[in-house]
């Protein structure tokens, strides 16, 4: 029985390159899986974050940029509400800035002019394409954004006064 060590350059045994290839393959597979997992997690986290912005903060405040998914708060401008081809369009205003909103569908509920709302969606070419409308803010939002709510209620009250 020969117990002497074999050299890795032994071409007669046919086993010279196999151990090196076997060690690299699992490491390459693990590296690809880590990179793919990182890409998936990053995409999920960035798409899950919707910034709250007032209408006057669009394009001004960081995170309130065109093309990015955001939640825009403002007051529905009196006389701007229209329904056409199954979509609802209206102007949303806050601190003398206005953006036109297009919502595919009927917001329903207590949605009307001169009330504060939050529209979820993306700004595309000066039109805010919304896929969700919130009329009543959640308690968590009210608690964290007390100042915004007071300002929004003041603007809604001013709109209601103009209406009467």
Q: What is the pLDDT of residues 76-130, one digit of tens each?
A: 999 999 988 889 999 999 999 999 999 988 887 778 888 889 999 998 888 999 9
In three state form, how does the secondary structure of 27-52 look? HHHHHHHHHHHHHHHHHHHHHHCCEE
Q: Which two tokens stand for residue 130?
A: 């919304």
Q: Are 82 and 91 in contact (CB under 8 A)?
A: no
- The one-character DSSP state at 110 is T
Q: Has residue 12 got a pLDDT over 60?
A: no
Identify the architecture of domain 50-163 in CATH: Beta Barrel (2.40)
* H and E: helices and strands count for the chain: 3, 7
Cα 29 to Cα 21, 41, 45, 68, 69: the distances in Å are 12, 18, 24, 34, 34
Give the predicted TM-score (pTM) of the model.
Answer: 0.59
Q: What is the pLDDT of residue 36?
A: 93
Residue indicated by tokens 């081809």: 85
Q: Are 56 and 96 in contact (CB under 8 A)?
A: yes
Q: Which two tokens stand for residue 124?
A: 């595309």
Q: How many CB atoms lie within 10 A of CB 35?
A: 10
Confidence band (pLDDT; 50, 70, 90) for 32?
very high
* C-alpha to C-alpha distance for 160 and 164, rounded to whole angstroms: 7
């Amino acid at each position: 029985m020969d117990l002497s060590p074999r050299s890795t350059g032994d071409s007669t045994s046919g086993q010279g390159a196999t151990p090196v290839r076997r060690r690299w393959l699992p490491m390459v597979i693990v590296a690809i899986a880590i990179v793919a997992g990182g890409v998936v997690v990053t995409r999920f986290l960035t798409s899950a974050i919707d910034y709250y912005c007032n209408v006057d903060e669009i394009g001004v405040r960081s995170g309130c940029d065109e093309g990015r998914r955001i939640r825009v708060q403002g007051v529905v401008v009196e006389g701007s509400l229209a329904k056409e081809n199954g979509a609802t369009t209206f102007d949303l205003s806050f601190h003398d800035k206005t953006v036109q909103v297009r919502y595919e569908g009927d917001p329903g509920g207590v949605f009307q002019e001169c009330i504060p709302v939050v529209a979820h969606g993306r700004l595309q070419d000066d039109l805010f394409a919304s896929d969700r409308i919130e009329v009543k803010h959640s308690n968590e939002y009210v608690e964290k954004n007390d100042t915004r709510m007071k300002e929004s209620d003041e603007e809604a009250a001013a709109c209601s006064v103009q209406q009467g």
